Amino acid sequence: MELPRVGYHSGKKVFTDEQEKELTEYLMKAADAFYGLCPREVKELAYQLAVKHGCKYPKSWDKFSRAGPDWFSAYMKRNPTLSIRSAEATSLARATSFNQHNVAMFFKKFDEVLKRHTLTANDIWNIDETGITTVQTPDRVIAKRGTKQVGAMTSAERGSLVTLACAVNAIGNTIPPMFVFPRIRYADHFVRDGPVGSIGSGNKSGWMQETEFLIFLKHFANHTKVSNEKKVILLMDNHSSHLSIAAIDFCKSNGIVMLTFPPHCSHKLQPLDRSVYGPLKKMVNSASDSWMRMNPGKTMTIYEIPGLVRTALPAAATPKNIQAGFQCCGIWPYNPNIFEDSDFAPSQVTDRPYGHFSS
């Protein structure tokens, strides 16, 4: 005689272990390709699989054509390799351009330049720009429990943006940054409170343009003491402001070898993006929050940004962070096989090469 079960016990499984394994592998592959499924879609897929395989499932599934919340919770517990994550928005151009062909072409050209000019870590530089805004995202604050809405002061609804340009090399060195202000008439006192040695410029948009990039190149050459006898390689994205005739002529005349990343690949290949600008943005944001608390009733302007960067940049652009950025990109130590197949999964949707970038 079969004894009755007492206490809590798990319900009958809808799928076999092998079927659940296949479902789990599919979900992980979809997430690697940047087409991950949300919980509702997983439930709908489970229902479709149950119908296809002739599995016994609760009749309640038929009402909404998807598995129930109890099944989903139990499934997630049985598969701890899965978790619900907030996805980061990634453009189709980035996802499809970072493919094996483009990355292999970049490393091939990079290797040729290293061997041709006998360059070492001290000679490998990366330059890039990022935007710093006057309106921060407030940090978490302590407030009364149960309060429905907690506010924090910002300067305005929409902020003004200043472009910050930095240059770092593979051994962890930096040069003073450059600020590009959204002002047609620039004055030296704009960067008075900025990092020591920093320079500035201005234009209507506040973005780096051809004229400003040439100014930064001269600033770069002055600090690195580069020459035709002692060349360096400059890694950067292929933005049009970087590829003007004046900039290319200046680099050729001063021993600067320019090599651009494939289009839309800087999020994986650019050291500054990988390990410096993330911490910098967080530290500038916290410094902005502190400035607002220390200056109640005042509006933060673009002229406070250099002072905030002076505080945040040394903590973000540390030798350790910079070296980690070059290493995780495979640039130094040189490792063209740094990326795994899963890193290229999103590009398999189209698998199209660009095949054109400058050197």
2 in any annotated domain? no
67 in any annotated domain? yes
Q: Tokens 């509702």 identify what position? A: 40
Q: Looking at the structure, do residues 74 and 103 belong to the same domain, yes or no? A: no
Q: Looking at the structure, do residues 73 and 174 belong to the same domain, yes or no? A: no
Q: Looking at the structure, do residues 63 and 121 belong to the same domain, yes or no? A: no
Q: Looking at the structure, do residues 47 and 120 belong to the same domain, yes or no? A: no
Predicted pLDDT at 297:
80
52 in any annotated domain? yes
State yes or no: pLDDT of 1 exceeds 60: no
| pLDDT band at residue 169 using 50, 70 and 90 as cut-offs | very high
Q: Output b/e per residue, 202-211; b: 16+ Cβ within 10 A.
A: bbeebbbbee
What CATH number does residue 115 fall under? 3.30.420.10
Q: What is the spatial distance between Cα 176 and Cα 165, in angstroms, rounded to a whole number?
A: 9
Predicted pLDDT at 332:
96
State yes or no: pLDDT of 301 exceeds 60: yes
68 in any annotated domain? yes
| pLDDT band at residue 67 using 50, 70 and 90 as cut-offs | very high
Predicted pLDDT at 350:
59
Predicted pLDDT at 153:
42
| pLDDT band at residue 271 using 50, 70 and 90 as cut-offs | very high
**Total domains in the fold of the chain:** 2
297 in any annotated domain? yes
Q: Looking at the structure, do residues 283 and 189 belong to the same domain, yes or no? A: yes
Q: Which residues contact 337 (CB under 8 A, 6 or more apart)?
A: 330
12 in any annotated domain? no
Residue-number span of the structural domain to which 291 is assigned: 99-138+159-349
Two tokens, residue 60:
């309640």
Q: What is the spatial distance between Cα 265 and Cα 251, in angstroms, rounded to a whole number?
A: 23
% pLDDT > 90, the chain: 60
State yes or no: pLDDT of 86 exceeds 70: yes
CA 220 to chain centre: 24
Q: pLDDT of 184-221, one tens digit each?
A: 999 999 999 999 999 999 999 999 999 999 999 999 99
